[in-house]
Amino acid sequence: MIDKFVKITTGFVHQTFELNAEGKFVCSEQAFIAGDECDYEDVNGEPLKNVPEYEYQPYEMILQQHKEQNVKYLLYNDVLGSLVSEEPIDAADLEDALSQVLSNMGYSVIEAQKRKEE
């Protein structure tokens, strides 16, 4: 009985490049297309003869952000109907912007630990 294995999926990556303000081509979009063919190995790289049943894990492949692709975000208060600050938040994505806002307010987001039931 094995306690760990590796799934290797073949597929394709479709990338679109655009010319930026500095005259360099940077990847602006990409799509990952997973194929149907998969190989399974043990942690030593040996092929598995019998693949155990496993829970499907969706592929989470994302576009790597480049520094020049940062976006300026503004924090808006829906209740007051106004901007919280005129100073934009320079961030790679919305998650990064929200993290900066929380940090500026003195908060950190931490992963909750599951309590062991005794």
3-state helix, strand, coil in the chain (%, to 5): 10, 35, 55
pLDDT value, residue 41:
95
Computed on alpha carbons and rounded to an integer, the radius of gyration of the chain in Å comes to 22
pLDDT value, residue 87:
82
Residues 94 and 69: their CA atoms lie apart, in Å, by 13
In tens digits, the chain (118 residues) has pLDDT values of 788 999 998 888 888 898 988 888 988 878 888 888 899 999 999 999 999 999 888 777 665 555 556 778 888 888 888 888 878 888 878 888 888 888 888 888 787 775 555 4
pLDDT value, residue 113:
72
pLDDT value, residue 115:
54
pLDDT value, residue 31:
80
Provide the 10 A C-beta neighbour count for residue 91: 18
End-to-end CA distance of the chain: 29
Residues 90 and 70: their CA atoms lie apart, in Å, by 6
pLDDT value, residue 65:
57
pLDDT value, residue 82:
81
| Predicted structure pTM score | 0.44
pLDDT value, residue 51:
92
Tokens of 14: 């479709």
